[in-house]
Chain A
């Protein structure tokens, strides 16, 4: 049932994405003009803002705020469900061609999106001009919805679903019903409700996520810390992998700041304390960011879908008051809003450092900031803790900011020891909103990124906030692939393997690498010593007195069983069952560990009567036993090695492939062993 619910939510997100895409395409010109106006207004506001000039407006170029970005044709920050601006002129009804063509090819109903014309909502007499959202009245909209519902009922069209507070609705229609809709005189637009692929999946294709995952760079055994507005840990995208939490928030009455930690406390270190804040539309921000870094879904994944998550809630809820502090207004956000103090960020990072070893935390993500800094800001008070984390192998990944600057980034992204990330589009150009400067370390997709939001749902957001967690996830993925690789080498690999993107915006000169996780994974992947074979040709043959019963693919003799034919048959069944197509070794020609892979990856244990011993791969250690080294999980002995180096290779291999059981054919004295994961 939870799975089904997740699917439903996902479908719902796709429908929304379709609507947003339609309004986006139609409204390009109007939006561009309004964005220019917004930018000017924001610049003027920044000049006169007395306390927080650095905090850039979230709306410009659709930053990661509650409302899905492509619908933001409004001149001021919109609240979800609040009608606050004009929708653009829409395609006139005569252009129904593609939809009619599609309906001619099917007898099935097709879902369409309709938009009321002005006459339908009492805004005049025009039946071809789209309703104006800015002047739309709720009662008129209700009237239009009622009229339409009656019209639909009359014609047995039963799937009319108005979209709250907008002059839009979805309707499922057949060929004959489409013409009735067109003749109703209610609509300025009827278009197919198209499906859009989740954009995280498309951005994942750009940066080589599938290639990295195929190499087992998926974040297993690592943890990413998300310093943000809290994470909805029950979201199906996380699969119970939010394992650690903390909350740091402030009560400063004079600033209108109230803690959002449970009970209003200013610090807590329980998992329960790290849930999403309440009181602001931005409280889904942390859940979205965490999903990009480490989401694991049926239709699409985050960058490191096997990584665990530490949620550190660092924001406070601010309320502007007449004659009092105007922190939200100064940040161009509707009050109440969430903002975070430097000190709460430091406390959060300090907590990450404290839990680093216990959770194998490899990166701390901070999709937050303010101000514009042309150069490095290394006197920033957050630098010592960021330096401390880096020295301990934890990268602090920070968004560059959404001010569209070509020569400045926000703070703390300006700290030189942080990994500062700007945003690109899927077409590999710098996003219009992204800050860039020499301080930017890497680029990653941040335009139109679909990820998890509150209520188990998914939504698309834009912003450098969405770019940073792609790098955070990449670090976790690469660390899981190469656990012994120092963090600086992982970062250097990301800096050298990606695609070079030059900022081509007016005044832009900076070029940085857009990450390519697949290429980075390839560069870091340990070179395994494997022999591949043709699985479809594998058989058991009798090689006579010299080798006896042997499994071969016709070219290579793979496993010899002597006279134990039954064991050879059992092994052959196992190879076919799991699709093993290569045998890998540690320390040939006298291998101390042999394991089988299918398509380069370990196989998960399947149901069946197999002779396996499970072990705790998280507790593996090498113990000296005389001149040898014993690999053990503390409970049982797993393998013996002649030296520590080979034992360490075995641990790395087991960790990388997530093996947690060793299986046998023919115990005692097994003639065939293999390893499985779970």
Chain B
């Protein structure tokens, strides 16, 4: 079958017509001028985008560069933008992603470009390192293996399955506006160690992840869940970390206060109190921060969005309060209560 592959190319040493000077060397940026080159390749129906790129690199244009190794979604090398979404080229079958036999690939615009499809991975690995990605052993270290229930090990397989391809970070909405956000991959890794029953540094970890740039900076856009090729579902892990952090008492931050205010408003009135949500998230007595919100409040007022203080609880609010009471807990419920309990329980008592 004939496929059209459009490749967004960038050569840091090449000159682009009309520009006498070659673009500057690293630090890498995503503000590069790509040229889109069209290749036509003849490949079977079940071939992957990567097969097409390898074919081009081997037989059409040897100067095309793409990172790849295993070809089977294990090594995590070939993450790129395919038709505008982060994907692994090896796991994307042409017949599944091509539109009218045509597919466009390029380095994700959220990442610095080194050359063609090769992107600068150093920010990705910096975040990995910042997540403190190693076990701090619980003492005493046993002579043999730690004795732990298999369920607690299997609980971590989802995060251990992460192949560090970078798809989640490429399409992360929070990272797009805040480069300091630790990112979905690093937080999934963070959860993997924080909820390991053999780890002794859980408190230190949760303190770290509760800081700005940590778990509360995620905006729940679900991009990381939908683009992850290995089903790691980083957002789920971020939510688990939030629960663990709050349980451990790390509540003195906007994120935890926001969640509290949100829950409290719904419990009390059966609906959201937009007026109080912001100051409660900032902290009621955080005058400076709340003053900074005034222009926004003014806009809300003009849009007719700021009158909830006069609203009464919705009819039948008692039933909502009953629900809260029934599920218990700080936010009225722990969906994965068993897992959290497992974490609370020191392993040596098992």
A and B together in one complex: no
- Give me the interface of A with B, judged by CB distance under 8 Å: none
B residues near A, CB below 8 A?
none
